[in-house]
Amino acid sequence: MTQKNHFLAGFAGGLFAPFIGFYLYYLSFFRQMSVTDFFFALQNNNTLAAAISLSLLANLALFFILDRFRKLRAEQGVIAATFLYGFYIMYLKFF
């Protein structure tokens, strides 16, 4: 089995990890409603950007795991994905 230390592998992981973080946030506090209702409630209350920001903690965990195994190129991909989410959060906040 080959180990991945590619930018695109880290970028894909960095794009996917916040979905896991978002789902864990949902399971922790809002299990009584469906995921789609939860998403629309966040959208209607203008708190979607805050929830996405919180779910980016999963990228932090992924970054430190990759750092532990010295996967520098994959770490750079996670950082790039985090910046992409950051631009999206700024878009949600200001537009």
Pair 56, 15: CB distance under 8 Å: no
Domain parsing of the chain, residue ranges: 7-18+29-94
DSSP 3: P
Alpha helix segments (H runs only) across 30-71: 35-44, 48-55, 57-68
Q: How many helices (H) and strands (E) does the chain have?
A: 5, 0
The one-digit pLDDT tens for each residue of the chain (95 residues) are: 456 789 999 999 999 999 999 999 999 999 999 999 999 999 999 999 999 999 999 999 999 999 999 999 999 999 999 999 999 999 999 98
Angle between helix axes 48-55 and 7-29 (nearest 10 degrees) is 120
